[in-house]
Amino acid sequence: MQAINLETLTRQGLSVIEEVAGFIQGELGRVSDAAIETKSKNSLVSYVDKTAERRLVEGLGALVPASTFLTEEETVAKGEGYWQWVIDPLDGTTNFLNGIPVFGISVALRQNGRTVLGIVHEVCRAESFYAWEGGGAFLNGQPIRTSTVQALPQALLATGFPYYDYERMQSYLHVLAKLMQNTLGIRRLGSAAIDLAYVACGRFEAFFEYSLHPWDVAAGAFIVEQAGGRVADFHGGDRYLFGKEIIAACPGVFTELLDIVGPGFTP
């Protein structure tokens, strides 16, 4: 297999992503209602998502010619391979279409089934969160670490409300009620990738959500880990990428949060 310098590749990937982010920014407020499609309940898409994805696939694919792809909009066939890019071209599409300035691009690279590189770019604030295996985590060139908060009552959390999968809603509401009473507060931004990036840099102490896809969390979860945080599924396992449930937190509140979320969501 080809030898790849992950730090160099991350910086090359950032250039590709920032160019695509410029395209997305330029389309903000310009998408007509007629150009919006409904993929499934409360899941919207437009030409912006699809065009951004095609540009990312082309640019990132050129950096690793043997790579395959797992993408949200499926503008390229899903492929398994030694190198695989996992791409969400516009995480927070509903925010974007409604002019709410919280949306971004999420890109991860997996090597033989293990994530080794992650980039989350928040478009409106031009903030690039990124990490490569063994290299630490960064925000626009500056090293970042997860929060040093040591107790859940002092923790600010992020989550995502159920918006299409309501089978576990009662469990979610039960957990939410407990966390409302035992944390500093809870926020819902509408972009899991950005929520995770904010955990990585200490803006949030933790994040949890269910019914997410690999492209929502692959990059952000990796950045959290490289920034010193912990990531798991609702029962402390490692099925957060494909298991559709994730907790990501700074070390000081991870176990305490897991002790609430785990029992609240029965296996």
Which CATH number is 54's domain given?
Answer: 3.30.540.10
Q: How far is CA 100 from the centre of its chain?
A: 18
Flag whether pLDDT at 1 surpasses 70.
no
Does residue 1 belong to any structural domain of this protein? no
Q: How does residue 218 score in pLDDT terms, banded at 50, 70 and 90?
A: very high
Both 19 and 81 in one domain: the answer is yes
Question: Average pLDDT of 67-96?
Answer: 95
CATH at residue 229: 3.40.190.80
Does residue 221 belong to any structural domain of this protein? yes
Does residue 189 belong to any structural domain of this protein? yes
The proportion of the chain whose per-residue pLDDT surpasses 90, expressed as a percent, equals 90
Both 135 and 204 in one domain: the answer is no
pLDDT of res. 250:
98
Domain extent at residue 171 = 152-264
pLDDT of res. 49:
96
pLDDT of res. 162:
86
Give tens-digit pLDDT for 26-52.
Answer: 999 999 999 989 887 767 889 999 999
On average, the pLDDT of the chain sits at 95
Domain boundary residue, one of 109, 125, 143: 143
Flag whether pLDDT at 214 surpasses 70.
yes
Domain boundary residue, one of 119, 143, 167: 143
Q: Give the count of domains, the chain.
A: 2
Both 221 and 254 in one domain: the answer is yes
Q: How does residue 163 score in pLDDT terms, banded at 50, 70 and 90?
A: confident
Both 91 and 204 in one domain: the answer is no
Question: Average pLDDT of 81-101?
Answer: 96
Both 38 and 89 in one domain: the answer is yes
Flag whether pLDDT at 12 surpasses 60.
yes
Whether 41 contacts 77, CB under 8 Å: no
The proportion of the chain whose per-residue pLDDT surpasses 70, expressed as a percent, equals 99
Domain boundary residue, one of 82, 108, 143: 143
Does residue 175 belong to any structural domain of this protein? yes
Question: Average pLDDT of 166-187?
Answer: 95
**pTM of the full predicted structure?**
0.96
Both 130 and 16 in one domain: the answer is yes
pLDDT of res. 2:
61
Flag whether pLDDT at 181 surpasses 90.
yes
Name the nearest CA neighbour of 18 among 111, 116, 128: 128
Question: Average pLDDT of 248-257?
Answer: 98
Does residue 124 belong to any structural domain of this protein? yes
Flag whether pLDDT at 130 surpasses 80.
yes
pLDDT of res. 267:
59
